[in-house]
Structure 1
Amino acid sequence: MLVQQQQIQFSEHSSLYDLIIPKDNLLRKINELIDFSFITDELIHTYCVNNGRMAESPIRMFKYLLLKTIYTVSDVDVVDRSRFDMSFKYFLDMTPEADVINPSSLTKFRKLRLKDTDLLNLLINKTVALAIEKGVIRSKSIIVDATHTLSRSNPFLAIDVLRERSKQLRKVVYSFDEQWKERMPEKNNENDLEKELAYSKELEKRLEEDPSVSLIPAVKDPTRFKIKKDKEDTQENLILSKDTDAKTGHKSAESSFFGYKTHLAMTEERIITAAVVTSGEKGDGPELPKLLEISQENGIEVDTIIGDGAYSGKENLKITSEQNIKVVARLNPSITQGFRKDEDKFDYNKDADRFVCPAGHMAIRKARGGTKDIGENQVDTYYFDVEKCKSCPLTEGCYKEGAKTKTYSVSIKSDLYQEQISFQETDYYKEKAKHRYKIEAKNSELKNAHGFDRAISYGINNMQMQGAMAIFTVNLKRIIKLM
C-alpha cells in the first residue's frame, strides 16, 4: 500500500542537519533545485493504494538509486552509508535516528516499479525542462556522439577462455626457459571442451612438477591461471555471455568491445538533451534522426548539429536540410557520397573506417578500384571473413555457398553534396566545429565519475535504466554549476 510522500518527521535531533550540512553541499543543492514529486506521479499506478503492507516511498527509493549513481557505490554500500551519513539522511528525507531499508528492496524497486517505465526519456525531459526554466540553455546547437559501455559478463565460450589462459601461461614459461617448448603436452586442436580441459590439466600438472617454473609468480598466481575440476564446473564458471542483448562493437579496425552504445545529444552548455541505447555493433549515424526528434520534443530549438563524419550520411543531410538545420560534420566518401545497396543493413564504423554486416561482423580490409582521381568511376570494396560467413545464421541471401570471398562495394560519386562541401569551408562551420570536444568530456564524466564504463546488470532495459540515472545526475550537476 502506498501513501503520499510525507515531509520529514522532525525530531529533537533534526536541527543537526542545519549544523552539519553546509549550504554548498551537493545533495542539499539538488534537494533545493528539483521537486521529486514527479516520481510518485509516474509510478503510482504500480502500487496498490488501499491494500497490503505500507510501502516505502517511491521518491525515497528513487533517491537511494540516485545516491548510488552520484557516488558510484553498490546497493549494499549506499544503504550502509545511509545509516551514518547525515547528508544522505537529509537527502532521503529521513530523521537522523530513522532506520534504513534492506538493500534487496532496491532490486525489487527496479524490477517491480521501474521495469516498464521509460525512465531514460522521463529523466532527460525533466532536467532539460528545468534547464530551460532556469535560463541556462541559450544555444541552438546540439552536439552528437556515441559512447560505449562494456557488458558485465564474459563474451567468450569456456573453451576459448581455457585456450587463452593456456596460451598466456605458455608465454610466461617460454620467457623464462624456451626449452620448455619441447616439454609441453600436445595441444588440443578439436572444438571439444573435455579434451581442452584435459590438456589444461596436463599442462598444469607438468608445470607443478618442476619447481623451477612452478615458483614463477605469474604461474603460481591462482587468479592468473585456474583450472576447474570438471566439464560442468568449467561451463558454469566460464559460460558464454548471459547478456544476450550485448553485441561486439569496434573502436578501431584492431580493437573491439562487447557491450552497448549510448548515443547522446548535448547542448553547447553541456546539458544532455537526448539519449538512445543500442547494442554495441550499431552505427552512430542512423541514430541522429531519433536524437534530433527527442531533443526537439524536450523543448530544444535546433539550428545546428555538431558531430563527426559518422553523421554526414545522405539520409541525415536530407532530413536536416528539410528543417533548415546545418550539419557540422566532415564529409566521408564512404557514407556520404557513396551509392550502395542494402544501405539499411550495412552500417559504417567511422572509427575503424569499415562497414559492419547485419550479423555484426566487421570487414577485415578494404580496397579502392577504378580510375584514380575520377570519382564517378571509383569503387571502395570491403572484404569480409568468409569463414565467419559460412557459419553465420544470416548467411542465406547474403553469402553464396562455395564463394571464396564476401565483399560489399560503395561507388564513389564526386559530384554530390557540393553545398555541404562549400559549407565546410565557412567560418561558421569552423567555429562550431570547435565545440565538438565538449561531448567527449561529457562521455568521460559519465564513465569515470558515475560508473558508465561498465554495465551493472544484464539486458538493454537495465542498460537504459543505468543510463537514465547517470544522465540525470550529470545534468543536475551541470545545471547547479551554471546557475
Structure 2
Amino acid sequence: MKARKSSAIQPQMFQFVDMDELVPKKHILRQLNEALDFSVVHDWVAPLYTERTGRPAADPERMVRLMLLSYLFNHSERELYQLLSMHAGYLWFCGLDFESVQRPSPNRPSLPDRTTLVKTRKLWRKHGIFEQMMIHVVDQCIAAGLVKPDVHAGVDGSQVRANASVHSLQEITLAPVHSIEEYLSELARQDQDEMPVDPKKEDSDPPPSSSVRSASETTRLQEEAVHEDFHGKKFSNATHRSVTDPDARLYKKSKGQEAYLRYLVHNVVDVTSGVILSTQASLAAGTAEREISLRQLTALRFQHPTIRIRTVSADKAYGTPEYLGALFAQGMIPLVSLRNLELEPIPTWKRQTHEAEKQQKREVKVQEVLIKNKAKRIQLEGKYRQIQKRRTRCEHAFAEAKTVHGLDRARSRGLENMQEQTLLTAIVQNLKRLCRFKKKRPQTGSLACQNPESVIREETLTSAISRLCSAIFSCIRPFHTVNRHFSPDF
C-alpha cells in the first residue's frame, strides 16, 4: 500500500526519554565513562574555592567532561555548545538531559555557561590542574596493566602552527638609553608641544577641501588593506616579534621548508603500548627537543615511581654526545639512529700539555668518542632492533593528534594555552588506548569467574571426548597385536 502523504510532523505532547537507552552499548563515550573515575577532580580543585563566600561553583567533574568532549571530537567551545542541545550522547556523558538544557532549573543539574568554562580553564591552567590530570591518567594505565613496569620509551618532537599570521611580525624597537639631563629636556619639549592652541588661530585656517580629504582617506585605506611586501627583507627571532602572539617563533625543520610562526610539542611515548607518558609544549628552538626530553625523562622517575625506563629510542637529531651521555648517566640505554656506525679511534696527542684549559678540552673530546662508540656498539649488536622499530609509534601519536584532535594548529595564543591544548590532547589519546585495552583484555583472575557454567560445560565435554578416544584405542591395540604375527600370504 502506498504511504500517505504527511504535511507535518506532530510530536507527542508528553514524551518520556531514557538517555541511557539512546547511547549505544559499544559507543566510545560509554567506554570512556567506565574506564576512568572523574570524581577525583573535586579533591584537586578544592583549595581553589572558598566554602562560605561567593556563588556556588560549577561542578568540576562536568567541566572536565566538557573539555574532554571538545578535544575528543575536535570541537571548538562555540561549536560544542551548539551541538550539546541536540546530541543525546554528549548530554548523557555530562550527566544532563534535554530538559536541563531547554528549561534549566536551580534544583537540578544544568549546563554551565560557556564563559564559565573559559574562566575555569584559565584558573585550572594557572594552578596546574591539567598536569595532575595527565599524571592521573597515566597512573590508571599503569594500574590496568597497559604500561608495564619496564618501559621502552621513545622521544620525539613535532612543530605546531601558531594562531598568528606572518604579517603580524614587527621589528623589535629597543628603548634608547638617555642620561637624566637628556630625559628631562625631552619631557620639557613634549610638554611644550602639548600646550593648548588658541581656538581663534585654529578657526582662521581654511578647512581642507572634501575632494582632497576623500583622496587621502582612500589612499590610507588601500595601504591598510594590502599586506606589507616582504620580498627582499630578512626576518629572524632576534629582530622581529609577532604582535598577535609574542610567544610564537619563526621555525623550520629542513632547509627547503618555509618558516612559519610555530611552537614545538615534545612527547615521551611507551613504544610497546603507545601511551603518552609525558608531553610538553615549548618555544620553537633548535636545541629544544633534546633539552625538553631530558627534563621529561628525569621528571617521570618522580611522577611514576612504579615504572622504570630501560631504553630510549630517538631519531638522528638526538645523537649528540651530550644527550647520549646524559642517558647513560641516568641508567637508560639510548637507541638513537646514528649517522655513522663505524667506531672512531680514541684521539691521542704527541705532546703533553700543562695548561688546564687544553687538558680539559682533550678529556672532553676523549669522553665524547667513548660515548659515541658505546652507543654504536649497542646498534651493531642488534639486540634491541625490534624495539627500535617501534619508535614510529611516536610519529603515529603526533599524526593522530593532528588529524583527529586538532593539534595541527594552536587553538589559542600564548605558551600556557599551547601547553593546555597539548596536555588535554594527550589525555584524550591515552583514554582511547585505555578503553581499547580494557575492551580486549583477556578474562583472567576474577574475570574468569563471570561464566562458570560455560567453563564447566566445556571441561566436561573435553574430558568425555578424551575418555572415549582412550577406550577406542585400547580396543584396537590387541587386535593389531594378534594380526601382526601372521604372514602376508595367509
Shared topology, TM-score over 0.5?
yes
Matched residue pairs, number?
337
Percent identity at matched positions?
22
Residues 415 and 98 from structure 1, CA distance in 2 versus in 1: closer, same or farther, beyond 3 angstroms? closer
The secondary structure found in structure 2 opposite 1:143 is: strand
- Tell me the CA shift for residue 233 of structure 1: 6.7
Which residue is equivalent to 2:152? Answer: 141
Which residue is equivalent to 1:248? Answer: 250
Rounded to whole Å, the distance in 1 between the matches of 2:131 and 2:295 is 12
Counterpart residue identity of residue 441, structure 1: H
The secondary structure found in structure 1 opposite 2:166 is: coil
Which residue is equivalent to 1:418? Answer: 373
Which residue is equivalent to 1:42? Answer: 44
**Deviation sequence 1:186-242 (CA, Å, 0-9, x none):** xxxxxxxxxxxxxxxx9xx9xxxxxxxxxxxxxxxxxxxxx9815667799x99441
Residues 159 and 129 from structure 1, CA distance in 2 versus in 1: closer, same or farther, beyond 3 angstroms? closer
Which residue is equivalent to 1:473? Answer: 428
Select which of 249, 262, 265 maps to 2:265.
262
Counterpart residue identity of residue 323, structure 2: N
In 2, are the aligned partners of 1:14 and 1:96 still within 8 Å (CA)? no
- Tell me the CA shift for residue 462 of structure 1: 0.5
In 1, are the aligned partners of 2:170 and 2:243 still within 8 Å (CA)? no
Which residue is equivalent to 1:464? Answer: 419
Which residue is equivalent to 2:141? Answer: 131
Counterpart residue identity of residue 260, structure 2: F
Rounded to whole Å, the distance in 2 between the matches of 1:26 and 1:445 is 16
Structure number with greater Rg is 2
Greater share of residues in helix = 2
The equivalences for 1:22-61 within 5 A come to 22-61=24-63
In 2, are the aligned partners of 1:265 and 1:275 still within 8 Å (CA)? yes
Rounded to whole Å, the distance in 1 between the matches of 2:328 and 2:16 is 58
The secondary structure found in structure 2 opposite 1:452 is: coil
The secondary structure found in structure 2 opposite 1:478 is: helix
**Deviation sequence 1:224-280 (CA, Å, 0-9, x none):** xxx9815667799x9944111111222211213322111100102000001121112
Q: Does 1:280 align with 2:290?
A: no
Counterpart residue identity of residue 458, structure 1: R
- Tell me the CA shift for residue 158 of structure 1: 7.3
In 1, are the aligned partners of 2:346 and 2:369 still within 8 Å (CA)? yes
Rounded to whole Å, the distance in 2 between the matches of 1:19 and 1:305 is 46
The secondary structure found in structure 2 opposite 1:152 is: coil
The equivalences for 1:344-355 within 5 A come to none
Counterpart residue identity of residue 30, structure 1: L
The secondary structure found in structure 2 opposite 1:156 is: helix
Counterpart residue identity of residue 400, structure 2: E
Rounded to whole Å, the distance in 1 between the matches of 2:410 and 2:144 is 32
Unaligned 5+ residue runs, structure 2? 1-13, 102-110, 172-214, 231-240, 349-364, 439-490
Counterpart residue identity of residue 261, structure 1: L
The secondary structure found in structure 2 opposite 1:115 is: helix
In 2, are the aligned partners of 1:307 and 1:329 still within 8 Å (CA)? yes
Counterpart residue identity of residue 377, structure 2: S
Bigger Cα displacement from structure 2, 17-26 vs 66-75 = 17-26
Which residue is equivalent to 2:441? Answer: none
Counterpart residue identity of residue 132, structure 1: I
The secondary structure found in structure 2 opposite 1:476 is: helix
Unaligned 5+ residue runs, structure 1? 1-11, 161-201, 206-226, 338-372, 378-410
- Tell me the CA shift for residue 466 of structure 1: 0.7
Select which of 121, 124, 136 maps to 1:114.
124
- Tell me the CA shift for residue 446 of structure 1: 0.7
The equivalences for 1:95-244 within 5 A come to 95-99=97-101, 100-111=111-122, 113-138=123-148, 139-157=150-168, 229=221, 240-244=242-246
Residues 308 and 114 from structure 1, CA distance in 2 versus in 1: closer, same or farther, beyond 3 angstroms? same
Which residue is equivalent to 2:338? Answer: 331
Rounded to whole Å, the distance in 2 between the matches of 1:114 and 1:295 is 22
In 1, are the aligned partners of 2:44 and 2:129 still within 8 Å (CA)? no
In 2, are the aligned partners of 1:250 and 1:281 still within 8 Å (CA)? no
Rounded to whole Å, the distance in 2 between the matches of 1:14 and 1:135 is 41
- Tell me the CA shift for residue 326 of structure 1: 0.7
**Deviation sequence 1:421-463 (CA, Å, 0-9, x none):** 1111122232222111111011001111000111111110001
Rounded to whole Å, the distance in 2 between the matches of 1:312 and 1:464 is 26
The secondary structure found in structure 2 opposite 1:89 is: helix
In 2, are the aligned partners of 1:148 and 1:261 still within 8 Å (CA)? yes
Counterpart residue identity of residue 264, structure 2: K
- Tell me the CA shift for residue 332 of structure 1: 4.8
The secondary structure found in structure 2 opposite 1:425 is: helix
Residues 132 and 240 from structure 1, CA distance in 2 versus in 1: closer, same or farther, beyond 3 angstroms? closer
Residues 286 and 22 from structure 1, CA distance in 2 versus in 1: closer, same or farther, beyond 3 angstroms? same
Counterpart residue identity of residue 134, structure 1: A
Rounded to whole Å, the distance in 2 between the matches of 1:317 and 1:254 is 28
Rounded to whole Å, the distance in 1 between the matches of 2:346 and 2:313 is 27
Select which of 17, 20, 39 maps to 1:18.
20
Which residue is equivalent to 2:91? Answer: 89
- Tell me the CA shift for residue 418 of structure 1: 1.7
Q: Normalization by structure 1: what TM-score?
A: 0.63
In 2, are the aligned partners of 1:158 and 1:234 still within 8 Å (CA)? no
- Compute the RMSD of aligned alpha carbons: 3.3
Counterpart residue identity of residue 293, structure 2: L
Rounded to whole Å, the distance in 2 between the matches of 1:124 and 1:240 is 31
In 2, are the aligned partners of 1:63 and 1:92 still within 8 Å (CA)? yes
Rounded to whole Å, the distance in 1 between the matches of 2:246 and 2:153 is 32
Select which of 317, 322, 335 maps to 1:315.
322
Name the structure, 1 or 2, with higher relative contact order (CA <8 Å, separation 6+).
2
